[in-house]
Amino acid sequence: MTEIIPIGPYHPLQEEPEFFRLHVEGEKVTRVDIEIGYNHRGIEKLAESKSWDQVVFLVERICGICSTSHPAASVLCQEDIGGIEVPERAQYIRTIVCELERIHSHLLWLGLAGHFIGYNTVWMWCWKYREIVCDMLEKMTGNRQSYAMFKAGGVRRDVADEDVSWYRKELDKMKPALDLFKGAVMDDPVIHARTKGVGVLDMQHAVDYCVVGPTARASGIGIDVRKDDPYFAYEWLDWDIAVLPEGDVFAKTAVRILEMYESVKIIAQCFDKMKPGSVDARIKEIPPGEGIGRAEAPRGEVYHYALSDGSNFPARYKVRAPSYVNIFSNEYACVGYEVADAALVLAAVDPCYCCTERVMIVDDSRGKSGTMNENELIALSQAKTKRIQEAMGL
Amino acid sequence: MTWKTIEKKIHEKLDSRIQSWYTHNPRRIYIDIAQEDIEDVARFLFSDLKARFIIASAVDTPRGGIEILYHFDFARLPQVISVRIFVMKPELKTKSIASIIKGAEWIEREIAELFGVTFENHPNPVHLLLPEDWPEGKYPLRRDQ
């Protein structure tokens, strides 16, 4: 006897197209079927009809949150084909944009996760401080999102020297904000009760599912493209990667918070070390050959492969977004936990469906199935938090 | 393990099977092997050398077949090894590595529906990205269609 609870076709938390079919026995999840493809736009095919310059703009449209990660991998890929050297100043500017984006993306996720477990204050505060980062990006690139900053061989805009002191002042506001979030999450007994030991992806399964980014680092796998295969300015800077062994939702949250501190460190160093100079190598063409570009997006490694036949268009363009491997691991990480926890676990990999791409719940004991909408699932999750708070006398 | 050690082990174990070894730059290595060797090579890299499977990418070539690249890297090393196989038309059949590497399951389903390659012994050979009512025999990334 099976009860199916469908969650989707929009992720109840992140309002993006996806479909999960949860098989449950009572409250326990016994199996998860994942369906993606609802947002498949054929970007790889489209890339074959765009010039190399346009491809960077095209891949920027893959994801609206980590919109600079795909262009980063794309320019690295094109530079790999041609063996192109990029001016140092451009590398620092690229690094700043990538790290600002990481902070804004992690804050966005942390806020949503807070809302989901009933902590609306965390949500509001996260999004308040995210504005600082978006303002910095707007001043630097002209846009809060989709910056169009990168091009093969350099960046499109220089950073004005007279603005640097303003950037530093704004960046200084982030440190106390991060302390606030760290305290709000790391020291809260209810958050511990809701997230510790929940959705555990152990190291062996993390290896088998080939997960990347904070999902891997929260399962004890210390991989980070910025360290392992350094690009842009990362190898000239002093910073650490955050690795935790537990593999649960708490570890995934903690890794992201710790990473934001490192991002602030990285950006500050970039401003220190940046020297005046050119920001564009002014490349003429991409020679024939194949190239690989990979960059550490907020969700993990973005991987681009391109084949050039020497013409102005890629002969083949392959994109692998981090959520493509991370979402698949939910097939394992959700099993054995309550339905009230499932959506939190599904969201803990910070899935990006635009990059990759819904939840049905099947009750194996009662033979029923039904769809849950966003409000029902959030209410279920928030009710669980309330029960825990009451049990703790809070 | 250092890259030198890994390189030596690959040569020791796979030299007889490597058809060509191309170092594009010190961080990017392309290895061509015969299609029937992919399971053994994937097992050696993933299980013995503890490589991470990044993704596979397919290219429809004008040479009468489809080329599949399996990309691997190693923890804390910058090198990416791309293992290339060539799958001939019209059969377009190759062995699945999903039973060796769980993380390869989705990408093999994707290549199957976008290029029409059949992965033998795949645990769940159904559509991944395209809808279930997608017409049979239509492959969006094939050049001959």
A45 vs B30, B106, B141: nearest CB: B141
B-side interface with A, Cβ within 8 Å? 24-25, 27-28, 30, 52-55, 57-60, 69, 71, 73, 75-80, 82, 101-107, 127-131, 140-141
Closest-CA distance, A196 to chain B, in angstroms, reads: 26
Interface test with A, best of B106, B114, B133 (most A CBs within 10 A): B106
Closest-CA distance, A136 to chain B, in angstroms, reads: 31
Closest CA to A321 of A279, A353, A364: A353
Closest-CA distance, A302 to chain B, in angstroms, reads: 10
B-chain residues near A211 (CB < 8 A): 103
A-chain residues near B28 (CB < 8 A): 80, 291-292
B102 vs A208, A289, A357: nearest CB: A208
For residue A389, pLDDT over 60 is answered with yes
Complex ipTM: 0.96
Closest CA to A62 of A319, A280, A383, A260: A319
B76 vs A228, A301, A316: nearest CB: A228
Q: What is the 3-class SS of chain B, one letter each residue? A: CCHHHHHHHHHHHHCCCEEEEEEEECCEEEEEECHHHHHHHHHHHHHHCCCEEEEEEEEECCCCEEEEEEEEECCCCCCEEEEEEEEECCCCEEECCCCCCHHHHHHHHHHHHHHCCEEECCCCCCCCCCCCCCCCCCCCCCCCC
Domain ranges (residues) in chain B: 3-120
Closest-CA distance, A147 to chain B, in angstroms, reads: 27
Residue range A308-345, pLDDT digits in tens: 999 999 999 999 999 899 989 999 999 999 888 887 88
Interface test with A, best of B100, B102, B141 (most A CBs within 10 A): B102
B-chain residues near A45 (CB < 8 A): 140-141
Residue range A241-273, pLDDT digits in tens: 999 999 999 999 999 999 999 999 999 999 999
Its sign, for the CA torsion B100, B102, B107, B109, is: positive
Its sign, for the CA torsion A306, A310, A313, A315, is: negative
Contact flag B25-A80 (C-beta cutoff 8 Å): yes
| pLDDT at position A394 | 75
Taking residues A37-56, report their average pLDDT.
Answer: 91
pLDDT along chain B (145 residues), means of 10: 95 95 96 96 97 97 96 96 96 96 96 96 92 90 89
Interface test with B, best of A226, A227, A229 (most B CBs within 10 A): A229
B-chain residues near A222 (CB < 8 A): 75-76
Distance, CA of A57 to CA of B43 (rounded, Å): 38
Contact flag B54-A230 (C-beta cutoff 8 Å): no
Set out the domains of chain A in order of their start, with CATH numbers.
43-323 (1.10.645.10)
Residue range A123-153, pLDDT digits in tens: 899 999 999 999 999 999 999 989 999 999 9
Closest-CA distance, B110 to chain A, in angstroms, reads: 10
Instruction: Name the closest residue on chain B to residue A35, using Cα atoms.
Output: B128
Contact flag B28-A291 (C-beta cutoff 8 Å): yes
Instruction: Name the closest residue on chain B to residue A45, using Cα atoms.
Output: B141
Confidence band, pLDDT 50/70/90 cuts, at residue A289: very high
Residue range A163-185, pLDDT digits in tens: 999 999 999 999 999 999 999 88
Q: Tell me the count of A-B CB pairs closer than 8 A.
A: 92
- Domain range B3-120, its CATH number among 3.30.70.2190, 3.40.50.720, 3.30.460.80, 2.40.50.140: 3.30.460.80
Interface test with A, best of B54, B59, B63, B127 (most A CBs within 10 A): B54
Residue range A354-377, pLDDT digits in tens: 444 335 555 555 555 666 666 777
Average pLDDT of chain A, as a whole number: 89
B-chain residues near A291 (CB < 8 A): 24, 28
Q: What is the 3-class SS of chain A, one letter each residue? A: CCEEEEECCECCCCCCECEEEEEEECCEEEEEEEECCCCCCCHHHHHCCCCHHHHHHHHHCCCCCCCCHHHHHHHHHHHHHHCCCCCHHHHHHHHHHHHHHHHHHHHHHHHHHHHHCCCHHHHHHHHHHHHHHHHHHHHHHCCCCCCCCEECCEECCCCCHHHHHHHHHHHHCHHHHHHHHHHHHHCCHHHHHHHCCCCCCCHHHHHHCCCCHHHHHCCCCCCCHHHHCCCCCHHHCCCCCCCCCCCCHHHHHHHHHHHHHHHHHHHHHHHHHCCCCCCECCCCCCCCEEEEEEEEECCEEEEEEEEECCCCCEEEEEEECHHHHHHHHHHHHCCCCEHHHHHHHHHHCCCCCCCCCCEEEEECCCCEEEEECHHHHHHHHHHHHHHHHHHCCC
Closest-CA distance, B57 to chain A, in angstroms, reads: 6
| pLDDT at position A19 | 76
In contact, A137 and A94? CB cutoff 8 Å: no
In contact, B51 and B73? CB cutoff 8 Å: yes
Instruction: Sort strands B80-88 and B65-73 into parallel, antiparallel or unpaired.
Output: antiparallel
Confidence band, pLDDT 50/70/90 cuts, at residue A32: confident
Contact flag B77-A228 (C-beta cutoff 8 Å): yes
Q: What is the pTM of this model?
A: 0.92
